[in-house]
Structure formats: structure tokens, C-alpha cells
Amino acid sequence: MNIIKLNAIDSTNSYLKELVQKSVLDTFTVVVAKEQTLGRGQLGTTWVSEQGKNLTFSLLIRFSDFKIQDQFYLSMAVSLGLISALKQFVGVSLKIKWPNDILAEKDKIAGILIENILRSSVINYSIIGIGLNVHQETFPRNIENVTSLKKISGTIFNEDELLYSILNSIKKYVKFIEEEAFEGLKKMYLAELYKINTPAMFEDKKGVVFLGKIISVDKNGRLVVELENETTRKFNLKEIKFASR
């Protein structure tokens, strides 16, 4: 594994994206930064992380024949790799909140941002950005329901050790993609999904609150929710959120 360590950068995802376009990089090249000045989250949000307290890194994977329509399986593999590595470090309940947030006791502890570089109809490279809250104990007031490994366990962690076990674990799950073992990935992902098969209140994009139960995700990564009348509805990101925790 080729690991590039930086003190500060705008965003490790942006840096790696530029680097791969102007040089030849090995698959599994990693960029880790102590500080990001413009950390990016999903859907154009920002990722805020206190300098030197957390893990913020991006991982490059090169694929030979990974179809765009299968991209959600990568999201599954990365979430599974991350959650199973974290389970070796802390004993609390960890879950994947669809599509790929990692929750520790219902609070967000890590986020994932995957950006793909395409070559005609296949994914040539994926840049997998991970922000994991490790030692940060106080968060800005506008960021709610977040936690860190230190907050939930009271322990100090060796960040290199954490990073290596996360990377090795992700590597293990990415193998399933290379072998096109998509159904196996989906089964493991659903087993870790927050509130699966549990009645919960949701809110749709129009603000309508309804009772439903997550029963699956489809191959495009949409969330499949069973409604009270036993029909199902599928939701894309931004089209649904939990109305309660």
C-alpha cells in the first residue's frame, strides 16, 4: 500500500482526484491528512473535522471491469469494511445508516464520500473518502448527533493502527466486487443496516411523515420501504429521512 501523509490539504478526495489524472498511481494508493481546509461531504455538504484529532483519508481503487450500474455495491463494500474494522476497536453497537454513514449508538461516527472516474461505461477509478471521528470530543453546535471513538469508549487510539486495519478490511470486502459476488455483499450489508425490518417514522421530500419499515435496498442503491398498507416504495438519497431516531 502506498500511503501519502500530508499535514494540511483542501480535501484528500480532491487531491487524489487531481493526482490520478496527472500521474500513474497504484491501486490502493492512500492520501491521509491531519487537516482538511475544505473537507467535502455527500451532496455538496462540508465535512468538518478538528485538526489532528480524526482520520480523514482517501483511497484510490482501480477497476478493470466495474460497471457504473453496479456502483452501489462499492458503497456496500466500503461501509462493511469500515464497520467491521471498527468493531475490532470498540464494543458498542455499530450500524450502517443507509446509504453509508456509520453510526455508533445512533450517533454518526464516520462518513464516506465515493467519487468515480469513468472510462466510457465502466468505472476506471474510485476515490473513496473516509472521515472517521477518532479523538474529537466537542463538535460545532450546528452538527448534531455525532460522536467519536474516544467519546464512546474513553480510550486513546493509535491512528496508524486504525488506518491500516480499516484499509485491510476494505480490501477484503472489495474482493467481493472483483469476484462480482454482489448478492453476498448485499446480504452482509442488510445485516448491518440501521433499523432494518423495524417500524419507524420517516419523512419524505414533501415533508410528509409516514410509518414504514426498511426491508431492503435495490441494485441501484435505492432504499426499499414497506408501508403500512404493505405496498413498497423506493427512495433515492435526499428523498427520505428518519423522522425520529
C-alpha grid cell, residue 237: 438519497
Output 75 or 84, the one with its CB closest to ligand BTN. Answer: 75
Output 57 or 73, the one with its CB closest to ligand BTN. Answer: 57
Which residue(s) pair with 129 in the sheet?
58, 113
Task: Among 99, 111, 212, 221, indicate the residue that binds ligand BTN (CB under 6 A).
Answer: 111
What is the side-by-side order of every strand in the sheet holding 2-9? 2-9, 29-36, 55-67, 122-132, 107-119, 101-104, 94-97
Q: Does the protein bind ligand BTN through residue 99 (CB under 6 A)? A: no
Q: Does the protein bind ligand BTN through residue 47 (CB under 6 A)? A: yes
Task: Among 29, 30, 39, 60, indicate the residue that binds ligand BTN (CB under 6 A).
Answer: 39
Burial of 62 (0-12, 13-18, 19+ CB in 10 A): middle
Q: Which residue is nearest to ligand BTN (CB)?
A: 111
The CA-to-CA distance between both ends of the chain, in Å, stands at 38
Alpha helices in the chain (DSSP H): 12-22, 72-87, 149-153, 159-178, 182-191
Output 36 or 212, the one with its CB closest to ligand BTN. Answer: 36
Cα(228)–Cα(33) distance, integer angstroms: 46
Output 41 or 124, the one with its CB closest to ligand BTN. Answer: 41
Task: Among 74, 78, 109, 112, indicate the residue that binds ligand BTN (CB under 6 A).
Answer: 112
Using CB under 6 A as the criterion, which residues of the chain lie in contact with ligand BTN when the complex forms?
A: 11-13, 36, 39-42, 45, 47, 56-58, 101, 111-113, 129-131
